[in-house]
Amino acid sequence: MRALAIHKEEVTMRSTTVRHLVGGIAALACALAVVAGTASAAPSGPPIRIGSTLALTGPLASTALVHQLVGDIYVEQINKKNGLLGRPVEWIVKDDQSKPDLARTLYEQLITVDKVDLLMGPYATGAILSAMGVAQRYNKVLVHHTFGIPSLAKYDAQFPTWSLGADPAATFPNTLFDALATTPKPPKTVAIVTSKFPSVHFMSLGAREAVKKRGLQEVVFLEWDFGNRDFGAIAARVKDANPDLVWVGAIGLEGNQLLDAMKKIDYTPPLHFYMYPAPGPMAQAPEAKNALAATIFEEHAPYLNNPGAAEFVKLFNERAAKAGLPYTAVETQAAASYSAWQVLDAAVTATKSLDDKVLAEWLRKNKVDTIQGKLRFDGPSNYGDDLMAVKQVQNGRWVTVWPKSVAAPGATLMTK
Amino acid sequence: MNRVYAALAIAGALLAAVPLLGLPLFYESFCYLVFHWIVLATSWNILSGYSGYFSFGHGAFFGAGMYTTATLASRFDVPFLWTLPAAALVAVLLGLALGAVVFRVRGVRGELFALVTLAFTFVVGTIILNTRIDGGPGIYLSAVPIPKIGPSPASTFYLLGLAAALATLAIAYGIYRSRLGVGLFAIHDDEDVAEVLGVPTFRCKMVAFGVSCGLAAIAGGIHALFISYVTAGDTFTITVPLTVVLMSVLGGTRHWAGPAVGATIITALLYAFTAGDHAIAGKAVFGGVLIAVILFMPQGVLGTLVARRRKRRASAVPVPAADAMMETRPPREARPIGPERILVAHGIRKAFRGVRALERVDIDVREGEILGLVGPNGSGKSTFVNLVSGHYRPDGGELVFAGEDIAHHDAHWIARAGVARTYQIPRPFEHLTVLDNVAVPAMFGAAHLDRDAALREARRWLEFTGLADKAEWLPEDLNLHQRKFLELARALASRPRLLLLDEVLSGLTPTEIDGAIRLIRRIRDEGATIVFVEHVMRAVWALTDRIVVLDHGQVIAEGTAEEVMGRSDVVTAFLGKAHA
Amino acid sequence: MGLPSLSLIAQSVLSGVFIGALYGLLGLGLSLSWGLLRQINLAHFALAFLAAYLCYQLSTVGGIDPLLTLVVIVPGFFALGVAMQWLFARFEITAFNSLLVTFGLTVIVESLIQSIWTADFRRLESTYGNAKFKLGFLYIPAPELLTLVLSLSLAFSMWAALRYTDIGKALRAAAEDGPIATAFGVNRQALALLLSGACAALAGVAGVCIALSYTLAPAQIYGWIGVVFAAVMMGGLGRPLGPIVAGIVIGVSESVTMALTSPSWAPLVSFSLLIVVLLVRPSRV
């Protein structure tokens, strides 16, 4: 029985084995090593405790296990070098069972009973909102990685690493349509079908606006209840409307379910876009050929050139395979997660402090190098640049195609 | 009884002081969650556990409360505490509207009621998701100011939760001990019998349902602010109803505090296994614990403890020698039969899907008489009894009791007016003690006594029928003779003016029949009028003043026993024609 | 927006029929054990998913044809069902207690599934998944057709068995009045074991159908409970044809709604219809 590496208590270790530092260590690691000042590379002293919850069980567990892996990897990496401020890092993670009210209470436990030094965000918008409320109450910094509705992030010491930009419903659809405009035959008619799940619904409404503004024609607009099982009628209506582009406001498996239903009635949309699909199933399904989606990181250049990216990707691929995950590539979820750790790390290291006020001040004023690129937090709701890009399933893998600055070398948006 | 309220008050005062202790605030939030589930489970149990109307719709009312608070507080800036009574009101109206339709339909019981309430949840959820109430994005409450009730926000929720839990427990206990509670438990075991004994079943169910919905909504309102982000998809699911069912069953559904015990255990268990390292194994252990508890405590934790205590009490009562019939009062003179007709049935018709059970039946019953109603099987005797007691409504004709037209009244109204009946196959309330069985009609019948007086009255009738020593037994422990007498005691306890005995002697031994005959005479001497449906001719001869003979739904003869039983057509009806 | 085309409506109806058939297949075992054994078996869903995962594993890793996995799954789950019933009988579990016990079992099975296969998504890719037929302008995908065929045939077989065979009559008698049935020589314990095994085997078959059409994750066990319970209760407990009829009613009413208006209204239509049907004709559907 393969168990996931679930909780790691990293205690001070006296390393007797000789290690080499793997090539490509980021400048970040060097910065950490400076602090120790001793000949030994191992951190020492009382551990710095970082607390968070994750949906280790329940419906959100399917994606949350990526975040668990990432956290384990980061903590291991940091403890192999010089720890945080020379001290070992201990990550205390609790299972919020995919329930926001549990997440809220567990964060309170982490702060008031376990008395952790720092917080890390949980998985997904609902839990993050709950955690944010608690963080606000106790004036703790909350760096989080999977928050989908920037307009709801009202606490001034929360820092998002999912770089949606402050108004993604307005900005991202434009990014997509800009990408599509570069194809030989840009779409003129658009079908917008969406789940009513909060973090995708408002994006789809933004898409409707964009369609209007660009003078395109919306041929059908459908909304379904999150949890819908039967996509036959929806697929049939899309097929009937015969659009050039199908925008699917899908989250998780919904995209695959719709694709499945379309396949069953022999319909392949000319262009299709999915908001937040579960990456593994979407990349691996044969009928998902050329599917488009949003991303902030993929496993190719130029992303791989960012600090820490290459090493992380390699580690993640290994660990995911070892943990028995069917899909082992790094994409938005893992990247946002790793960035969150990098951000927290950078703030602590730069200020040499664990004081949340100090950390928040620093983050608001400074930029952090992450595997996504440089992140800043001085925009509305502490959101910085919109780093959302467009990726596409090409030959069973996700490949970024737009904007050109982050597209994989030589990659273009493929149409039928 | 006051002990419980006092205990609740003391517990409340002690617990309310906890925020002042300066413990880590997590404990207060955890306790809030326990209180939250106590409110939900206990309120569910008020309808579903007490009355057996198993609802899968608790989520709808919880959600209605959440959304009322969320909408009022964040869109209309209503101060949070004022939204709570509004939430309760909305849910109560919603529940009463549903109940008014569903409780009237006879066939919707058991799992069908569960289904209707589950479907109702999905309907409400979909409406909320698709209209401006939510519309999709959810409602965000972080901007709503949390009232400063305690030293910190966590304390505020703790105290609000505590108050709600105490109120819910007090209400649940109050109902449990009240007439309403007795009625609900009677409905649980046999709703039709309860109705016939005078329990206003529709009203009881509506009140219980309304209370249940209102309390759930209050829990929802408080919770909306606790989690500060409300979405339709998370709220209107089967999760809340399933969880409260599990909690109530674990703790014991027949006890007012059972669900609270279950809620505490399950919430604590859920938290015990949140440590990240063994999250999956922890969940499995949680499942295992649930299984283990219910296997060894099948009536729930509290239910089993209470049952064990009752067994000890029942076995401690000394058992006297034989079924002595104690004379509690000197026999009165036989009352003369009055000229008034206490019951007039005229032109009664009743058909069941084409089978005409009764056709143009005219029967008069004079006050103080014992009227025998005889006839071969299938002649309509039981149907007549069912009509008079209100179990069915006649298709046509008049039915006047003591001057009032009873054909259009509910059975419980008829019972209150003074009609009682026994069932041919005894139908006691299986989960109530013998004493409680008899107390039900004393509380709801013509006498309409309060609880203590009803229990005294019940004891009196148990003595009258020789069952006094079995007062704490359950009906399943009685033999047929005793069950028949329990039926009788139950019918008498409501102090009826008209008593309908439906083949009360069937299955008894000759000695038992003699005893029964003596008993019935005494009953008439106490002032009741009796309609005596019977096959045992010996008893008919001995007891009746007059006889009415039914055959194939029609009255074929009427008069004294001697007059009637000699007629050839009556003999033919009973024995068939002689073929040479 | 004019009226939707006939092919759209027809395809939607068909889609509703297919998913209704799956509700019916999932509900069949649940309905029989609830109606005839007085047990509300939540673990039925967990068993179905366990079978789905086993089918996935045997197919993807073992290379066995998914349908052939039934050869292993049906008898294996039959044995599981017998074991479960033996436990239930030994502890004399009542209807509502069975809800609690089976919930505990569900949680345990879910944890087992998650620890073996992780919470990540698993999808069985098979030749069946891509095969489809065409009937005029209607598309009929193979896995759904298979589910429909299995669901109908199993429902009818159970119905016929209960109605016409001696064992079936004995089962119905035992369900209606246990002590009297025993007095007539019916071996209730053996029958209960047999029925429980059959219900578990039915769960296994449902699981294979799920594996063919859906992507799997452990927590999905709970996603089906609401609607299948609705189909079971509406179809009448213990009536083999009930769940599939009710399931199809639910599926088609939702699907047609999705074809005609905004799909997010679908649950409103299906469940309001349910309520109305129950109020108008509560005794049977």
pLDDT at B465: 86
pLDDT at C4: 73
Dihedral angle over CA of B102, B106, B108, B109, nearest 10: 110
Q: Enter the DSSP assignment of B231.
A: -
> CB of A225 within 8 Å of any CB in chain C?
yes
Q: How far is CA A2 from CA A66, A337, A405, B285, C202, in A?
A: 16, 23, 40, 19, 30
> CB of A280 within 8 Å of any CB in chain C?
yes
Q: Enter the DSSP assignment of B135.
A: S
Q: Number of structural domains, chain B?
A: 2
> CB of B97 within 8 Å of any CB in chain C?
no
Which of B101, B118, B287 is facing C229, going by the closest CB pair?
B118
CATH number of the domain bearing residue B206: 1.10.3470
Q: Enter the DSSP assignment of C4.
A: P
Domain that holds residue B367: 341-575
Q: Could you report the per-residue pLDDT of B398-437, keeping only the tens digit for each?
A: 899 988 888 888 899 999 999 999 998 899 999 999 999 9
pLDDT at B509: 86
pLDDT at B323: 38
> CB of A230 within 8 Å of any CB in chain C?
yes
Is residue B333 situated within a structural domain?
Answer: no
- Shared-domain flag, residues B124 and B226: yes
Which chains border C (3 or more CB–CB pairs < 8 Å)? A, B
Boundary residue ending a domain (B259, B290, B309): B309
> CB of A227 within 8 Å of any CB in chain B?
yes
Which of C34, C100, C234 is facing B250, going by the closest CB pair?
C100
pLDDT at B314: 63
Q: Could you report the per-residue pLDDT of B46-65, keeping only the tens digit for each?
A: 999 999 998 999 999 999 99
pLDDT at B317: 52
pLDDT at C1: 46
> CB of A154 within 8 Å of any CB in chain C?
no
Rg, chain B, Cα only = 29
| Whole-number Å distance between alpha carbons of A37 and B297 | 63
Q: What is the mean pLDDT of residues B18-44?
A: 93
**CA-based nearest residue to B43, from B304, B298, B253:** B253
Is residue B321 situated within a structural domain?
Answer: no
Q: How many CB pairs under 8 A join A and C?
A: 132
| CB proximity under 8 Å: B 19-78 to C | 56
* Residue numbers of chain C with a pLDDT score lower than 70: 1-3, 282-285
- Shared-domain flag, residues B279 and B378: no
- Shared-domain flag, residues B218 and B346: no
Q: Could you report the per-residue pLDDT of C18-40, keeping only the tens digit for each?
A: 999 999 999 999 999 999 988 89
Is residue B328 situated within a structural domain?
Answer: no
> CB of A65 within 8 Å of any CB in chain C?
yes
B79: helix, strand or coil? coil
Is residue B322 situated within a structural domain?
Answer: no
Question: For testing the chain A interface, which of B66, B274, B280, B283 should be mutated: the one with the most A CBs within 10 Å?
Answer: B274
Is residue B336 situated within a structural domain?
Answer: no
pLDDT at C2: 55
Give C93's Cβ-side CA count (13 Å radius): 29
A225·C263 Cβ contact <8 A? yes
- Strands, DSSP E only, in B30-181? 139-140
B318: helix, strand or coil? coil
Chain A residues inside the 8 Å CB shell of C56 = none
Residue B334 has pLDDT above 80, yes or no: no
End-to-end CA, chain B: 73
Which of B223, B277, B283 is facing A7, going by the closest CB pair?
B277
Is residue B1 situated within a structural domain?
Answer: no
C219·A285 Cβ contact <8 A? no
pTM of the model: 0.89
C168 to chain A, closest Cα gap in Å: 34
Q: In the beta sheet, which residues pair with residue B33?
A: none
Q: Which two tokens stand for residue B362?
A: 């005219």
**CA-based nearest residue to B529, from B440, B452, B420:** B420
Q: What is the largest CA-CA distance in chain B?
A: 101
Chain C residues inside the 8 Å CB shell of B246 = 99-100, 103
C233·B127 Cβ contact <8 A? no
Domain ranges of chain A: 27-163+301-385, 168-295+390-402
Q: Which two tokens stand for residue A73?
A: 């990897």
Highest mean pLDDT among A79-93, B265-279, B373-387: A79-93
A136 to chain B, closest Cα gap in Å: 10
A131 to chain C, closest Cα gap in Å: 23
A380 to chain C, closest Cα gap in Å: 33
Among positive and negative, which fits the CA dihedral B388, B390, B391, B394?
positive
Q: Does domain A168-295+390-402 fall into CATH 3.30.1240.10?
A: no
Give the DSSP letter string of A152-165. G---TTEEE-S---
Ordered by where they begin, the domains of chain C are 6-280 (1.10.3470)
| Whole-number Å distance between alpha carbons of B251 and C45 | 25
Q: In the beta sheet, which residues pair with residue A91?
A: A50
> CB of B505 within 8 Å of any CB in chain C?
no
Q: In the beta sheet, which residues pair with residue C132?
A: C141
Is residue B422 situated within a structural domain?
Answer: yes
Q: Which helix (H) or strand (E) holds B61?
A: helix B58-75
B274·A152 Cβ contact <8 A? no
Q: Are domains A27-163+301-385 and A168-295+390-402 of this chain identical in fold?
A: yes
pLDDT at A121: 96
**Closest residue in B to C262 (Cα–Cα):** B130
A101·B33 Cβ contact <8 A? yes
CATH number of the domain bearing residue B557: 3.40.50.300
Highest mean pLDDT among B30-39, B315-324, C172-181: B30-39
Highest CATH level, class, for A27-163+301-385: alpha beta
> CB of A387 within 8 Å of any CB in chain B?
no
Q: Could you report the per-residue pLDDT of B491-543, keeping only the tens digit for each?
A: 989 888 999 999 888 888 888 888 888 888 888 888 889 998 988 888 888 88
Is residue B374 situated within a structural domain?
Answer: yes
Residue B83 has pLDDT above 90, yes or no: yes
Boundary residue ending a domain (B309, B326, B359): B309
Question: Is C100 within 8 Å of B249 (Cβ atoms)?
Answer: yes
C108·B127 Cβ contact <8 A? no
A109·B278 Cβ contact <8 A? no
Q: Which residue has the higher pLDDT, B277 or A54?
A: A54
- Shared-domain flag, residues B303 and B385: no
- Shared-domain flag, residues B304 and B346: no
- Shared-domain flag, residues B305 and B368: no
**Closest residue in B to A131 (Cα–Cα):** B227
A123 to chain B, closest Cα gap in Å: 14
> CB of A4 within 8 Å of any CB in chain C?
yes
| Whole-number Å distance between alpha carbons of A319 and A328 | 8
pLDDT at A41: 60
A95·B136 Cβ contact <8 A? no
**Closest residue in A to B274 (Cα–Cα):** A95
Question: Is B47 within 8 Å of B208 (Cβ atoms)?
Answer: yes
Mean pLDDT estimate for chain B? 88
- Shared-domain flag, residues B506 and B366: yes
Chain C residues inside the 8 Å CB shell of B239 = 222
Chain B residues inside the 8 Å CB shell of A196 = 129, 136, 232-233
* Residue numbers of chain A with a pLDDT score lower than 70: 1-41, 416
Question: For testing the chain A interface, which of B34, B228, B286 should be mutated: the one with the most A CBs within 10 Å?
Answer: B228
Which chains border A (3 or more CB–CB pairs < 8 Å)? B, C
B200 to chain C, closest Cα gap in Å: 21
A125: helix, strand or coil? helix
Residue B336 has pLDDT above 70, yes or no: no
Residue B124 has pLDDT above 70, yes or no: yes
A130·B227 Cβ contact <8 A? yes
Residue B227 has pLDDT above 50, yes or no: yes
Question: For testing the chain C interface, which of B270, B280, B297 should be mutated: the one with the most C CBs within 10 Å?
Answer: B280
